[in-house]
Amino acid sequence: MKHIIYPCIWFNSQSKEAATFYCSLFSNSKIVADTPMVTTFELAGELFMGLNGGPVFQINPSISMFVNCSSSEEVEMLNAKLTKEGSSLMAVGEYPWSKKYAWVKDKFGLTWQLMLNEVPAGTPKITPLFLFSNKQFGRAKQAIQFYTSIFPNSKTLDLQLYGTDDAQVEGNLKFGNFTLNNKLFAAMDGPGNHNFEFNEGLSFVVNCDTQEEIDFYWGKLTEGGLESNCGWLKDKFGVSWQIVPTMLGKLMQDKEKAPRVMQAFMKMKKFDIEKLLNA
């Protein structure tokens, strides 16, 4: 199975503005493609999508971007730029887990966890981080096991659990890293009451080359979850995914065919490649 997994960030109408801002923060970053609906961009070599979806959904802190910073100055710089017109969720400073850390929300609503961190060479600069809170609290380990059982080239790398001497529930996840098809992700259980849940504001796109791949991921990820329209679904933890044929982008670039393709997939839940090609 050949596919790419990457985050999709839901904006009202500012995807290109946001992408331009984010690309200014990190080296090895650029806008790859831009249409009225979607802006595709790379941050520190990692692929992202911005979707102009309107005001229906808002990004929230349930999924944030964890940034490995190489110096205190970098943490300070990113904190200053991201909180300008944004806000601070945890003030920049020293914490038990890092000599310099900050959790911030930028002006578009995306949250970032900035940490001074020594990491092995080749570790991605930016990693999506799931926060399992409220009704999902305590399910982070289960989710990691579920996701790594579905995607190839996946494994659990590190699980730091609460122990008997911690104030939190023993065995819950302090912090964990795992890969899905060689892409790094992180997760943690978030104690306390939070006014947010996983939602469509930040989803993950899975590009599929064949109908068999689409059928496989759709079937696995909807187990205990919910089907939605246009290739969207929610898994049993409430995380949103888009299971999308790789060739959709090429079809949408065909000015004559694109309106028919869009009309066809607007009627679909799970994508049907044959119907798109015949539209």
- What's the pLDDT tens digit per position in 194-243? 889 999 999 999 999 999 999 999 999 999 999 999 999 999 999 999 99
- Sign (positive or negative) of CA dihedral 116, 120, 126, 128: negative
Q: Assign 247 a pLDDT band (cuts: 50, 70, 90).
A: confident
Q: Where do we find the tokens 């187990």?
A: 223
Instruction: Map out the domains of the chain with their CATH numbers.
Output: 5-189 (3.10.180.10), 209-277 (3.10.180.10)
182 pairs with which residues across the strands? Answer: none
| Cβ-count burial 215-235 (b if 16+ within 10 Å, e if not) | eebbebbbeebeebeebbbbb
Q: Assign 3 a pLDDT band (cuts: 50, 70, 90).
A: low
Are the C-beta atoms of residues 162 and 140 closer than 8 Å to each other? no
Predicted pLDDT of residue 217: 97
Nearest Cα neighbor of 243 from 271, 279, 276, 209 is 271
User: pTM of this prediction?
Assistant: 0.94
Mean pLDDT of the 174-188 span: 96
